[in-house]
Chain A
Amino acid sequence: MSNPLRDMEKPDLIFAIGTNMTECHPVAATRLKKAITDGAKMVVADPRRTRLAEMADLHLPIRVGSDVALLLAMAHVIHREGLIDESFVADRTADSDQFLKHIREFPPEWAAPICEVPAEDIEQAGLMYGRGNPSAIYYTLGITEHICGVDNVQSLCNIALMTGNLGIEGGGINPMRGQNNIQGAGDCGAVPANFPGFQPCDNPEFAEKFSKEYGTEIDAERGITKVTALNRCGNGIHAMIIDGENTVVSDPDRNHCEHALKSLDHLVVIDIFLTETGELADVVFPATAWGETDGVQTNTERRVQRLRRAVPPVGEAKPDWWIVSEIAKRMGNTHFEFESAKDVFNELCRLSPIYAGLDWDRIDNSEYQWPVPEEDHPGTPRLHEGEFKNGMKGLFKVIGYRDPAEVIDDEFPIWLTTGRRLQAYHTRTQTGRSAGIEYLLPEETLEVHPTDAEKLGLTHGGMAKMSSARGSIEIPVKVTDMSPEGTVFTSFSFANVPVNILTGSGYDPVTETAELKVCPVRVEPV
């Protein structure tokens, strides 16, 4: 997030797109509710009539995967109505001319048939965002899990840049991170493009720095993503180590994923339970769980916080860092002389400019949001205040609309989109093993609009067979107008409804993030 969580109580206009925040980030959503109570207006773009959509002043139930079209038309309205922050555009951005010329071609009337919402509503959304003072954007995986995920994010940046809603209290572009430490995994350099602290791998200066630190010549080029690695299993990739991820269930195209992992010569899994992924491994290590281990995690507002051990680990479980270090040592690697989580974290701080002012003891009270470039620095709750990083200009990007990787046709005439539920988390390895949760959410269902249910011959509580180009599953039907006509929804949480057998139609060409939010399907009664 560019802005701190507490800023969520301060926007004048909230634009929430592709985020089911009351279910996926409920505590953050309470702040938006307070802002609304205090008079803020809200525009929600989401195919489903979520709780957030019900609270909105304007809900745009756009067709899944049509976000770029909506955002182009909103930019068009902002420009046409003279709602551009001229001084911000002049002082802090570049390439605006080309962009402003581009969006002239995309009025709401052009976007309406693509988004399947009235042009007047798109017009209204553009006016509301453009007039908000300040306007804040919140988004989640509904924006990124598309073949055009990067285009979606850049389209959001465009409208924020046009209106000067960056670097100000109550504004910003705010992705809500879905996992407790997914931000931290990136901070730590567990990505193919960056060393710890977002130092690019393809910059020889950093490659040399880490080669020296780690005592090995490291490639001065990006690695491959997990998606590519899975595609190459058995053909280039022959050994894999996976920590705390139930890849088989959470990733798209389950059959492909299972086949990939089975093709490896050597699969090592570290986890707290024997997951479906662990069952394919050659060795499985028992890791300590939350509450059993000391450590650090970074939240969605870049706040670096300590986790503390409350009870001893069950059985012989060990911290992940210890397990990985021991494997490294047994391969003759002499750079793993860590004695505690503190040692590991302090090494990360030493090598990462964004953490340079931090150490284990300094983060004891959760006070700091990175970047914290030096000791005595107060941290950075709000990014881009006054200027962008390194004095750079905010770049407008010229983006065009593309259809999803697969679109509906006679064979697969319904859009499937997927997401999460309030009471379940991911593949339920944790919430499924917590007493009482099943009372609130005993099973997964497929949400179908009443008109579609009638057309397809589906009944509330009855079973449906849902198929895509990759496979089919059976699932109980819930008839509800939460789903719009022509679109069905389910979560990926339940093992008996392995929806990721169906998904995986395409990937964003830049990030290789899977298009989990769009999958044409056929639904029929069983």
Chain B
Amino acid sequence: MTEFREDLKDQKLLTMTLDGGIVKFVDGETIYEVANRHRKEVPTLCYDERLEAFGACRLCVVEVEGIRNPVASCTTKAADNMVVKTSTEAIDKHRKTLLELVVSENRNVDVDELSGYASQEMTNLVDRYEARTGRFCGEQSGTTNTDDKNPFILRDYDNCISCYRCVRVCAEQEGDYAINVMNRGFHTQIITEFNHDLRDSQCTFCGQCVQTCPTGALGDKKALRDADTEGEVKKTRSICPYCGVGCSVDLLSKGDKIVGVQPAMDGPANEGALCVKGQFAFDFIQNNDRLKKPLIRRDDGELHECEWDEALEFAAAGFKKARDEYGRHSIYGVASGRAPHEAAYTMQKFIRSSFGTNYIDNCSRA
């Protein structure tokens, strides 16, 4: 993010000192936002730029001249002439200690990247601050909810760090309020109403909680089926194939196999959001029922697989015959509202340029 937040773009321009350099910012920005715009890599665990800042993880603390204790940069507004250091020996030591504590409390630090969009955040920070020291040990929090048999969302709260990003995204981003927090401290539990399964709650299985979880406590069960499949995870930017909203997605593949979908945080239509179809209903494309060869109806009245050449010749011959016998207005084309432009364009061109008619439509009337 190198530009000012859109809602603040008309505010007064101010200046501050950031790590020794003079920088401009707009009134209303937090220290974290200013630092982030200047690529300072301030670490966070409870931060998701789409959500209200929460100030829970304390990793984003910075030193502000004139203030004795480090301040949480995500919840502190930048002020005119403020002098801020985002990384000092003391600050980094503080961050490392916090991460050592987090490691001591969590059962798994390393989770598969297929778990979700943000799933590597904690692992990356633990490595960046060399926090696998084992300096602390003691009680561990959370319990895996293995009873929830839903096929999409893994709920392994052994890895929960109580950042509440899942609860907040469900409320603030989705407006669904399907999950909430019970108890505090080591006894913190993320639960649904009456602790029932997600299916019996307000949950719509949009997967946003999975994608914002920084530890893999919530995981994409469907993608994780391929955790042991050979190959690197490749991401391909595309657009969801369902409704007309046109959400941007990253298709996850390993070799020739589609293994999952993640929302694109910079997608203009969705800004990181998805629904249950876009998030989880992707594997139809490699279903066994897919047509693999052309089919042609033979004398026995049944459809049989055949070679492309024969099928194409047969298709063309049928249209020629209809044109010769019944005239050019006897042929009709129906384009798809599901296939890309190129399909619809060639279909209308086929009808118009082969028969000189406008006998073409698409599926929008049904």
Instruction: Let me know if A436 and B245 touch, CB within 8 A.
Output: no
Pick from B150, B204, B251, B267: contact of A291, CB under 8 Å: B251
Instruction: Let me know if A191 and B362 touch, CB within 8 A.
Output: yes
Instruction: Let me know if A27 and B334 touch, CB within 8 A.
Output: no
Instruction: Let me know if B238 and A436 touch, CB within 8 A.
Output: no
| Contact of A157 with B by CB under 8 A | no
Pick from B246, B285, B359: contact of A229, CB under 8 Å: B359
CA distance in complex: A222, B352 (Å) = 12
Chain A residues close to B by CB (< 8 Å): 5-6, 22, 24-28, 30, 33-34, 36-37, 176-193, 195-196, 201, 210-211, 214-219, 221-227, 229, 236-245, 247, 250-252, 265-266, 268, 270-274, 278-279, 281-287, 289-293, 295-301, 303, 305-312, 314-321, 323-328, 330-331, 333, 335-336, 338, 341, 344-345, 347-348, 366-367, 422-423, 425, 429-437, 439-440, 511-514, 516
Tell me whether A293 and B352 are in contact in the complex, defined as CB-CB below 8 angstroms, given that A237-B330, A326-B312 are known contacts. Answer: no
Residues of B within 8 A of A317 (CB): 290-292
Residues of B within 8 A of A266 (CB): 318-319, 321-322
Instruction: Let me know if B354 and A328 touch, CB within 8 A.
Output: yes
Residues of B within 8 A of A214 (CB): 349, 352-353
Interface size in chain B (residues, C-beta < 8 A) = 112
CA distance in complex: A226, B315 (Å) = 20
Instruction: Let me know if B354 and A182 touch, CB within 8 A.
Output: no
Pick from B204, B284, B335, B365: contact of A433, CB under 8 Å: B284
CA distance in complex: A322, B46 (Å) = 49
How far is the CB of A152 from the nearest CB of chain B, in Å? 15
Tell me whether A241 and B334 are in contact in the complex, defined as CB-CB below 8 angstroms, given that A292-B285, A315-B292, A331-B319 are known contacts. Answer: yes
How far is the CB of B344 from the nearest CB of chain A, in Å? 4
| Contact of B239 with A by CB under 8 A | yes
Residues of B within 8 A of A37 (CB): 175
| Contact of B206 with A by CB under 8 A | yes
Instruction: Specify which of B237, B251, B315 lies most central, judged by the most chain A CB atoms within 10 Å of its CB.
Output: B315
Instruction: Let me know if B340 and A184 touch, CB within 8 A.
Output: yes
Instruction: Let me know if B291 and A315 touch, CB within 8 A.
Output: yes
Residues of A within 8 A of B290 (CB): 272-273, 286, 289, 314-315, 317
Instruction: Let me know if A265 and B337 touch, CB within 8 A.
Output: no
CA distance in complex: A338, B253 (Å) = 28
Q: Mark B182-203, 1 if CB is under 8 A from A, else 0.
A: 0000000000000000010000
Instruction: Let me know if A305 and B315 touch, CB within 8 A.
Output: no
User: Besides A286-B293, A336-B349, 15 other CB < 8 A contacts?
Assistant: A177-B243, A193-B358, A196-B345, A252-B366, A266-B319, A285-B294, A286-B291, A299-B239, A307-B238, A315-B291, A318-B308, A320-B343, A321-B340, A324-B343, A435-B222
| Contact of B241 with A by CB under 8 A | yes
CA distance in complex: A179, B239 (Å) = 12
Tell me whether A240 and B360 are in contact in the complex, defined as CB-CB below 8 angstroms, given that A273-B291, A431-B277 are known contacts. Answer: no
8 nearest A-B pairs in the assembled complex, by CB-CB distance: A315-B292, A299-B246, A295-B340, A244-B336, A177-B244, A223-B358, A436-B151, A33-B175
Tell me whether A180 and B267 are in contact in the complex, defined as CB-CB below 8 angstroms, given that A317-B290, A320-B343, A345-B342 are known contacts. Answer: no
Tell me whether A434 and B361 are in contact in the complex, defined as CB-CB below 8 angstroms, given that A345-B341, A439-B151 are known contacts. Answer: no
Instruction: Let me know if B282 and A291 touch, CB within 8 A.
Output: yes
Instruction: Let me know if B248 and A366 touch, CB within 8 A.
Output: yes
Closest A residue to B360 by beta carbon equals A190
Instruction: Let me know if A321 and B204 touch, CB within 8 A.
Output: no
| Contact of B11 with A by CB under 8 A | no
Closest B residue to A500 by beta carbon equals B366
Closest B residue to A319 by beta carbon equals B342
Instruction: Specify which of A184, A272, A338, A516 lies most central, judged by the most chain B CB atoms within 10 Å of its CB.
Output: A184
How far is the CB of B178 from the nearest CB of chain A, in Å? 13
CA distance in complex: A284, B318 (Å) = 13
How far is the CB of A62 from the nearest CB of chain B, in Å? 23
How far is the CB of A202 from the nearest CB of chain B, in Å? 9
Instruction: Let me know if A279 and B303 touch, CB within 8 A.
Output: yes
Instruction: Let me know if A218 and B244 touch, CB within 8 A.
Output: no
Instruction: Let me know if A435 and B318 touch, CB within 8 A.
Output: no
Residues of A within 8 A of B345 (CB): 188-190, 196, 321, 344-345, 347-348
Closest A residue to B198 by beta carbon equals A440
CA distance in complex: A251, B356 (Å) = 27
Instruction: Let me know if B341 and A348 touch, CB within 8 A.
Output: yes
Instruction: Let me know if A335 and B258 touch, CB within 8 A.
Output: no
Residues of B within 8 A of A28 (CB): 245
| Contact of B108 with A by CB under 8 A | no
How far is the CB of A24 from the nearest CB of chain B, in Å? 6
Tell me whether A245 and B348 are in contact in the complex, defined as CB-CB below 8 angstroms, given that A184-B341, A316-B292 are known contacts. Answer: no
Interface residues of B in 256-291 (CB under 8 A from A): 256-258, 267-270, 273-278, 280-287, 289-291
Closest B residue to A180 by beta carbon equals B241
Q: Mark B204-230, 1 if CB is under 8 A from A, else 0.
A: 111000000000000001100000000
Q: Mark B115-144, 1 if CB is under 8 A from A, else 0.
A: 000000000000000000000000000000
Instruction: Let me know if B344 and A289 touch, CB within 8 A.
Output: no
Residues of A within 8 A of B343 (CB): 243-244, 270, 287, 295, 319-321, 324
